[in-house]
Structure 1
Amino acid sequence: MKIFAKHRKFILAIYDIVFINCSFLMALFFRFYTDIPTLYIEHYKRAFLPITAVYLLIFYFFNLYSSLWSLASIDEFMIGGVSNLLANSIILIASSFFDDRLPFSVIILAGVFIIIFTLGFRMLFRIYRRATLMFRKIDKSGFKRVLVVGAGMAGLSIVKEIYTHPEMKYEAIGFIDDDKNKIGKIIRNIRVMGDRNSIKDMVDRYAIDLIIIAIPSLPVKERKELVKLCNETRCKTKIIPGVYELLDNTVSLSKMRNVDVKDLLGREPIKLDNKGISDYITGKTVLVTGGGGSIGSELCRQIVNYKPKELIILDIYENNAYDLQNELIRKYPSLNLKVLIASVRDKRRLEKVFDEYRPHVVFHAAAHKHVPLMEFNPEEAIKNNVMGTLNTAECADKYGANRFVLISTDKAVNPTNVMGASKRMCEMVIQAIDAKSKTEFVAVRFGNVLGSNGSVIPLFKKQIEEGGPVTVTHKEITRFFMLIPEAAQLVLQAGAFAKGGEIFVLDMGSPVKIYDLAEHLIRLSGFEPNVDIKIEVTGLRPGEKLYEELLMDEEGLQNTDHDKIFIGKPGNFDLSVVKSQIFAIMDLIKFGKNDLLVRKIQEVVPTYKTTEGNDITNKEMTEELSVFQEIVMNNSGS
């Protein structure tokens, strides 16, 4: 076999020469039996060299000497058939121009024999390889017993790979498929055991170690339900990505991944109007504040696909910015990239940045976002979120940016915490400044982003790794979730719809119970909730509410050209009034009047109501705030 492997092309050509000529002799024999006319023998002696040459050249052209026949598929055999038919046709046509030729019936019959011999010989390599695999003795101790969900082409590919690669230490035990015509049938010596409702029973009955969901074309909602069924077993589950994730449409074990929480959300892939996005990003200078954060960094990754003239990443935290810089340089070496370490609180620094780079588009993602932390540090929420937005927005207006997109949050709707109230004030700032500016200022509001820094998923995963307990603040608490890439894509799309002053509201799908999410994540990790890993309910944190809203009552809702993006009615705010209110809050911070700060924020954001137990409508506190404001006004007047 080693000699054959070394001289494979030459040996195959020798065999083909023998097969071609034997086929013609057999055809003469079958046509005339033992009484072959001497004339045709002479004709063949003169023609066998050009006939052989035609076949060899056609075979060479169709790569019949380069294919690895031990792994050949139906495609290779179809190509072999086409090459044979083409060679036979050329010989038939050429022979028709000569009087001293072989009969057409002999040429056609010889062509049939050549197909049988040449392809049959090559098939022997596949048969030999299959036989060696079938009869080899493999010690399957330590192999993972696998249940494959989906008896289609993808499932077949997975079983084939398991079968041919024992070093992976997988053993295919059975298929699961909802097609009733397949149930009970045997495919590649593996039985289709039942439909999806049989999964739990089959896992228990056959001691399954691993479930592989191999249906790339499965709709997202159905996949979500299927994942839940698999998740109810204590079995490890992996999944072949959907067709939109399989860039080359090939299915293999190397492409399967662990089932993740995102599979349980059932989010449909986003369809984007790429032309609309390109129109305002391609060839433009784009600035992303907070560019090293979860949303900011994903925005940068998405933006580079639209070929901006220059991408500027601004962030106060150098580590994230540095990591993102290295990633983008590695993936996009021709990208014109600038990474600036700066704070949006620093107006002078921002002025220099805008004056030097003159960004056409600004995505403002810089913000403090952690609710409990901001509840105990309200002054920082105001300085970073509100003043940072005002500083950045005024610079965008002054230096002629075309578009400014604020990243907002569902917590800005009827806020019950300082963080949400501060983001509502940010929305007020951009709606107020839009009324007087040539720059199109808009906000994009969405809920929690799955897997972002500080979100609940990384916290749960860490708690599970530590053996628990997993902490949930309330058994009935719900949140809206979307994926980081999805959020970034919709932000870019919303920017394309901007006319100025809108608050774009993203469709977050159905709210998810955090307690259910904890249970699913524990099961995905191979444990049983409240048996192996305890779930502990700790009580609502300061500023936290059970249910988030995406739209304020007074805003209304309008459709856009995208089915996942809606527009809230623009607010009517006067910039001078909004700024004076913000500066009044900053005065409280400046003079250390943090006890009055929350009361003043409520004056600015009337929909802000603190959670039960914090009375900020206290009459004495209101009077104290009025006295302080009067003192500040008198001092500023003198």
Structure 2
Amino acid sequence: MRIPSPRAFLVYLHDLVMTGVAFVVALYLRVGMLAFDQYADVLTLAAPIMVGISGIVFMTLGLYRGIWRYASIPDLAHVVRAVTVSVLTFVLVMFMMTRLNALPRSLPPILWLVQIVLLGGPRFAYRLTKDRRLALRDELSGVPRIPVLLLGVGDAAELFIRSQANTVYRVVGMLDDKNRRMGQSVRGVPVLGGTDDLRGVVEALARKGERPQRLILTKGHAEVTGAAVRALLDEAEALGLTLSRLPSLTEFKSALDEGKIEVRPIAIEDLLGRPQSVLDRGAISELIAARRVLVTGAGGTIGSELVRQIAALEPSDLVLVDAGEFNLYAIDLEIRGRFPDLAVHTVLADVRDRDRVHRLFQEHRPVMVFHAAALKHVPLVEENPTEGALTNVVGTRNVADAARAAGCLAMVMISTDKAIRPTSVMGASKRFAECYCQALDVLPGRDGATTTRFMTVRFGNVLGSSGSVVPLFQRQLAAGGPLTVTHPDMRRYFMTVREAVELVLQASAHGAARAEERGKVLVLDMGEPVKIVDLARQMIRLAGYRPDVDIKVEFTGLRPGEKLFEEILSAAEAPTRTEADGVFLASPRVIDYALVNRALGELEAAARGGDAERVLTIVANIVPDFRAEAVVPLADAKA
């Protein structure tokens, strides 16, 4: 019942005065001048009672949380509710005091209506005056308002138009992406056409002196495909428009309350425009909640996002393992700050150290293990095959063996699309690691006992990861270009790190509940591949430059181990869609555990001895489709 501020107190006094005036006006409307003669005693008694009751009701019902500047229908509803309660309470009190003998029976409904008008009217009048004053102030002061065109007719568009006085924008028209509302208007702003009419609408507005400078997309991420955003970006650039997007409705309303609304530039994630998978959050939570979880590579791009999402699922303990001191420190600091009640254990360890890995597993006894530690940069691993073998293959065996010895429920290995028909040492080493996890997954336990599940989740490139092309392009843009692309036909699958980890958890929950799928590989649905050269040019446009004019794109040729096109699934693996949305099941050949374990022992000896040639030979024996990619000359590609 506390009045929150001096300004709100003034509003409170206004409402009390208006309530007294409303009683006088209502009585006058009912009995005329008799209100000040025959009914003078009643007026003197009842008006203060009505004011006192209203004062208590208004504070109790929180009538002063709204801001007059943004008075709206919900605020009017609050006024109606408060007035209704006040009048009904007044009638009850007067009945108890006078049996209502002194008051005309029609006075309460008249009072109800007059009080609503006197309380609600000034609120809306203030808003209208303020809106017009702000608009007039902008016109008189010469402050330019940027003319914009909205794409999409919906709640977000209506809210943006309604809040124009709080922005530097002036909406001159709208486009309906569904072609259903042409000729109609929203708050006086006309719907001028559909998406296909963009050029004609811009030209028509230009002839009226209202040429828009910006095209603002009002639809959410899940409502617009990446292909549509890419096409809009191309068309907007051709028309000299900047393409932007409104924030989400929740963020928009928060910004509205703060009086500061900003549209956002289109981001790389918008260009992907991947449809949102339906997550089985119940199964994911059941997999993690109240369990001790260990994450290797916890400081990396995937590992750190795994840590964030797992921490939010309320495990009993979270063990962070990484060989990189700074990255481990950074994610540890973040998680302890965001989840102060979570038991976090930070372990500086290298997965290549078998004894160290076994000791930490015996000490912490995790139930779930997510193995994200790996060397993933293709050219570097190509130059250092022994290091790639030690981390990606031997490190995986160490973690898997430790998980089995500690009796973990499941281990999830993060793999890559480069493991399919690999042309790089990195891809082949990850496929070798997959083979070992598959062999362990189908290896029977002693006396038929249930053994640890070993699941492999395979997916493609993650936007913004340390090995991704996007940070490279961003650095090159900051330096003024050029942007370097290895080949004009290079294509890659991309997804955001948040989505990748969500689907990793979804795939893990699916696999953990299905023992009949042992020995299989879980593959995330990566959508459609993206041409790297197109991505480069779109990033140049997003930065406000013209591709091949302001910023050049140069082709440097394929690097060792690179493919022109990565595969997520191959026909030989007999892929099938699972019940989990966004997850496929692949069935690559399973190698006998004794064979793969013996080969892995030989691989470790060769790698620790620095024998790169022997390492490659052993890898090729276990991964027979490992082959060097035939480098396509740039001249042939351009021909």
TM-score by length of 2: 0.86
Q: Are 2:32 and 1:25 equivalent residues in the alignment? A: no
Partner of 2:129: 128
Q: CA deviation at 1:190?
A: 4.4
The answer to whether residue 284 in structure 2 is matched with residue 293 in structure 1 is no
1:56 CA drift (Å): 4.1
> Is the Cα–Cα contact under 8 Å of residues 520 and 588 in structure 2 kept in the other structure?
yes
Q: Which residue is 1:80 aligned to?
A: 79
CA shift for structure 1 position 11: 4.0
Over 3 Å counting, the alpha-carbon distance change for 1:522 and 1:478 in structure 2 is: same
C-alpha separation between the residues in 1 aligned to 2:100 and 2:324?
Answer: 88
* Range with bigger deviation, 274-283 or 520-529: 274-283
Q: Percent identity among equivalent residues?
A: 34
1:131-210 aligned at under 5 Å gives the runs 131-136=132-137, 137-140=139-142, 144-165=146-167, 169-178=168-177, 182-183=181-182, 187-188=186-187, 190-200=189-199, 205=206, 206=210, 208-210=212-214
Q: Secondary structure at the match of 1:609?
A: coil
Aligned mates of 1:197, 1:313 — CA distance in 2? 51
1:213 to 217, 236, 241: 217
- Does structure 1 residue 502 correspond to structure 2 residue 504? no
2:416/2:459 contact within 8 Å kept: yes
State the shift of 1:198 in Å.
Answer: 3.9
Q: 3-state SS of the aligned residue for 1:375?
A: helix
Partner Cα distance (1:57, 1:6) in 2: 13
Q: What is residue 442 of structure 1 aligned with on the other side?
A: 455
Letter in 2 for 1:128: T
Q: How many residues align structurally?
A: 603
Match of 2:596 among 559, 564, 578: 578
Which residue does the alignment assign to 1:623? none
| SS in structure 2 at match of 1:471 | strand
Quick one: distance in 2 between partners of 1:4 and 1:378?
A: 71
What's the offset of the Cα at 1:570?
5.9
Deviation per residue, 1:374-397 (Å, 9 max, x gap)? 112111111111111111111111
Which amino acid is the alignment partner of residue 264 of structure 2? Answer: R
Shift of residue 293 of structure 1? 0.6
Question: How many Å separate the matches in 2 of 1:81 and 1:592?
Answer: 82
1:418 aligns with 2:425: yes
Q: Does residue 1:561 correspond to 2:579, yes or no?
A: yes
Is the radius of gyration larger for structure 1 or structure 2?
1
For residues 167-221 of structure 1, give each alpha carbon's deviation from its aligned partner in whole angstroms, at most 9, with x where no partner exists: xx44444433346675455655644443323445556745544332222386242
> CA 1:89/1:181 → structure 2, altered by over 3 Å: closer, same or farther?
farther
- Asked if the contact 1:150/1:177 (under 8 Å) is kept, the reply is yes
**What RMSD in Å do the two structures reach over aligned CA positions?**
3.1
> Which letter does structure 2 place at the counterpart of 1:219?
E
How far 1:559 sits from its partner (Å)?
3.1
Q: 2: CA distance between counterparts of 1:547 and 1:51?
A: 78
Deviation at 1:538, TM superposition (A): 2.0
Match of 1:605 among 613, 623, 628: 623
What residue identity is the alignment partner of 1:104? R
**Helix, strand or coil at the partner of 1:554:** helix
SS in structure 2 at match of 1:267: coil
Instruction: Write the mapping of 1:97-112 to structure 2, written as runs, cut at 5 A.
Output: 98=99, 100-112=101-113
- The alpha carbon displacement at 1:89 in A equals 4.2
Q: 1:277 deviation in Å?
A: 2.2
Q: Which string of whole-angstrom CA distances, capped at 9 and with x for unpartnered residues, describes residues 417-436 of structure 1?
A: 11111111001111112233
Q: Structure 2: how far apart are the matches of 1:448 and 1:115?
A: 60
Instruction: Give distance in 2, aligned partners of 1:217 and 1:590.
Output: 48
Name the residue aligned to 2:386: 379
1:311 Cα shift?
A: 0.9
Equivalent-residue separation in structure 2 for 1:512 and 1:85 (angstroms): 60
Find the counterpart in structure 1 of residue 116 from structure 2: 115
- 3-state SS of paired residue (1:314): strand
Tell me the residue number matched to 1:10.
13
* 1:272 corresponds to 2:279: yes
Is 1:467–1:533's contact at 8 Å kept on the other side of the alignment? Answer: yes
**Aligned: 1:513 with 2:531:** yes
More displaced 10-residue stretch of structure 1: 86-95 or 594-603: 86-95
State TM-score, norm by structure 1.
0.86
Structure 1 residue identity aligned to 2:196: N
* 8 A contact 1:431–1:442 mirrored in 2: yes
Could you tell which deviates more after superposition, 520-529 or 549-558? 549-558
Distance change in 2, residues 1:207/1:456 (3 Å): farther
Give the letter aligned to residue 115 of structure 2: I
Quick one: which amino acid aligns to residue 24 of structure 1? L
User: 1:467 aligns to what?
Assistant: 480
Match of 1:364 in 2: 371
**1:5–1:450 Cα change, 3 Å:** closer
- Rounded to whole Å, the distance in 1 between the matches of 2:264 and 2:362 is 47
SS state at 2:456 partner: strand
SS of residue paired to 2:236:
coil
Alpha-carbon displacement from aligned partner over 1:578-610 (angstroms, at most 9, x marks no partner)? 122123334444554434443332122111111
> In 2, distance between residues paired with 1:4 and 1:433?
70
What is the aligned counterpart of 1:535 among 530, 553, 556? Answer: 553
On the 8 A contact 1:199/1:229 being kept in 2, the answer is no
- For structure 1, which segment, 225-234 or 454-463, has the greater mean C-alpha deviation from structure 2 after superposition? 225-234
| Worse-superposed segment, 109-118 or 346-355 | 109-118
Q: Is the alpha carbon distance of 1:592 and 1:23 closer, same or farther for their aligned partners in structure 2, counting shifts above 3 Å?
A: closer
CA contact (8 A) 1:27 1:110 kept: no
* Alpha-carbon distance in structure 2 between the residues aligned to 1:217 and 1:543: 35
CA distance in structure 1 between the aligned counterparts of 2:159 and 2:74, rounded to whole angstroms = 15
The verdict on how the C-alpha distance between 1:86 and 1:278 changes in structure 2, with shifts beyond 3 A counting, is: closer
Q: Is the 8 A contact 2:28 2:35 kept in 1?
A: no
2:228 aligned to which of 207, 225, 250: 225
Contact 2:457/2:522 (CA < 8 Å) preserved in 1? yes
- Which of 535-544 and 444-453 deviates more? 535-544
Q: What CA distance in whole angstroms lies between the structure 1 residues aligned with 2:628 and 2:131?
A: 71
Query: Is the Cα contact below 8 Å between 1:410 and 1:445 reproduced in 2?
Result: yes
Find the residue that maps to 1:405 and give its secondary structure: strand
What SS is found at the alignment partner of 1:339? strand
**Equivalent in 345, 349, 362 of residue 356 of structure 2:** 349
The alpha carbon displacement at 1:331 in A equals 0.8
CA distance in 2 between counterparts of 1:341 and 1:561 reads 38
The AA in structure 1 aligned to 2:243 is: T
Query: Cα–Cα, structure 1 residues 611 and 135, in superposed 2: closer, same or farther, change >3 Å?
Result: closer
CA 1:159–1:431 in 2, change beyond 3 Å: closer, same or farther?
A: same
- 1:53-104 deviation per Cα after TM superposition (whole angstroms, max 9, x unaligned): 4444444444446643343212112222233344444555666773633332
Cα drift, residue 151 of structure 1: 4.2
CA shift in 2, pair 1:379/1:65, >3 Å: closer
